[in-house]
Amino acid sequence: MTGQPQSVDQSDRIVPINLRQSGRTPTELLISTRVRKSPYWHLSHAAGCWRATVYNRVYHPRGYVRPEDGGAAAEHEALTHHVTLWNVAVERQIRVKGPDAERFTDYVITRNAARIEPMHAKYVILCNEKGGILNDPVLLRLSEDEFWFSLADSDLLYWLQGVNVGKRMDVEIDEIDVCPVQIQGPKSEALMADLVGEGIRAIPYYGIMEAVIAGCDVVISQSGFSGEKGYEIYLRDATLHAEKLWNALLEAGKAHRLKVIAPGHQRRIQAGIMSWGQDIDHETVPFQCNLAYQVPRRKKADYIGKAALERIREQVDAGRPPFRMTMVGMTIGGRPIDDYAPDFWLVSDAGGGDPIGYLTSPWYAPELGCNIGLGHVPVDLSAVGTELTVWLPDEYAGEPGKPDRAQVCEVPFRPSVNPSARELAHARGEDAAV
């Protein structure tokens, strides 16, 4: 498929998804002062980082093991069988602090901020007045009057500051010098116990603790982007202490076969974890992407997007969703997809006709023995079991120039070690938006 296809109806969007199938276009990434280098950037380079992207206007490592040495598959093996270290300083930390911190945070997220206890975190979303998702950060509550928004890939700082120009609440809203790394994989708990003591084993999912590693003050949460057991270590005064923390992690990790890798997108897709800017954006509403549980059914005080989201929920409940497309999971034919997709590959109905949807996050799942992916398709083709076809590029297509079979399936493809709030709420028959 070449050119900008016109057969995927995007009339319900203001800015169409860029579905131009231009393929891989190798070029050298310019390293300049217009994009921030994180305090761990040079350390990632020393660890073998050979490619990067830009996320939150920060250079972001996206590959350490070269293709000839196993590539992303070798990194996935380390993540799912041992333990891994990720440079995720791109998760900028925006602090909301002051007497009105809880009230302000409650106004900008859909969930109930008052239900987040100090030294706990939650996965949350922030929406605009139309109900579109602006960001889906992990929100850490350090104290009664201090919250950290650990951002996905959209610059939320100016939005939050702009909101408070009108609200005039008694809070300070700023980015702080805190940069996280992630420790992910089945041996992560044992490694963390070596670093900070046995007390780490008692921390619940999304629990927080303060600790000191190699003389560095850190905040640790049991959380991550992988679906495996894992932790995020938020380094205070990161521009001063990055080397001390990083080297301490490498040293302690030797006993556990620690490997420095890029964020494990193969595993996060299996867990049904979405990536903002890739799977969802500011024109995606929660009811299109399995995030309806983030919108409270129980009464909550006013928050940004409340009127729109309640109206959309009523339409969805009545069987009249105001959107054409919805996100689904798919099993996909073809040859193993072994790297990041450079395009949003197109989806057709079972007959392989004109494209009607697109993939956002495809990859090969060795544990399942097939390609899988997240993607957007028309609502009337979203039921589990629906047969579809996918137009893969020649390097992955079963037969070049012809579409491969696909089928809508349940998400997650493989459950997370720690079940999501949505999964827990579904099991209890409850609303999870607290």
Within-domain flag for 276: yes
* Predicted confidence (pLDDT) at residue 298 exceeds the cutoff of 90: no
* Predicted confidence (pLDDT) at residue 427 exceeds the cutoff of 80: no
**Distance in angstroms (rounded) separating the CA atoms of residues 247 and 243:** 6
Q: What is the reported pLDDT for 3?
A: 57
Sheet containing 138-143, strands listed edge to edge, beginning at the edge strand earlier in sequence: 120-123, 138-143, 146-150, 93-97, 172-175
3-state helix, strand, coil in the chain (%, to 5): 25, 25, 45
Task: Give just the sign of the alpha carbon dihedral 355, 360, 362, 368.
Answer: negative
Within-domain flag for 318: yes
> Do residues 246 and 237 lie in contact, with contact meaning Cβ atoms separated by under 8 Å?
no
* Predicted confidence (pLDDT) at residue 102 exceeds the cutoff of 90: yes
Within-domain flag for 363: yes
Q: What single letter denotes the amino acid at residue 132?
A: G
* Predicted confidence (pLDDT) at residue 188 exceeds the cutoff of 90: yes
* Predicted confidence (pLDDT) at residue 13 exceeds the cutoff of 70: yes
Within-domain flag for 251: no
| Total tally of structural domains belonging to the chain | 1
Give CA separation, 312 vs 48, 185, 287, 321, 388, in Å: 47, 38, 8, 7, 27
Within-domain flag for 377: yes
| Domain CATH for 336 | 3.30.1360.120
pLDDT in tens, 329-350: 999 999 999 999 999 999 999 9
**Distance in angstroms (rounded) separating the CA atoms of residues 336 and 38:** 33
Within-domain flag for 414: no
Within-domain flag for 375: yes
- pLDDT band per the 50, 70, 90 thresholds, residue 156: very high
* Predicted confidence (pLDDT) at residue 378 exceeds the cutoff of 60: yes
Average pLDDT, the chain: 94
- pLDDT band per the 50, 70, 90 thresholds, residue 419: low
Within-domain flag for 84: no
Which of 143-152, 307-316, 415-424 is predicted with the least confidence, judged by mean pLDDT? 415-424
Sheet containing 208-213, strands listed edge to edge, beginning at the edge strand earlier in sequence: 208-213, 216-221, 230-236, 178-184, 83-87, 258-260
What domain range is 389 assigned to?
270-409
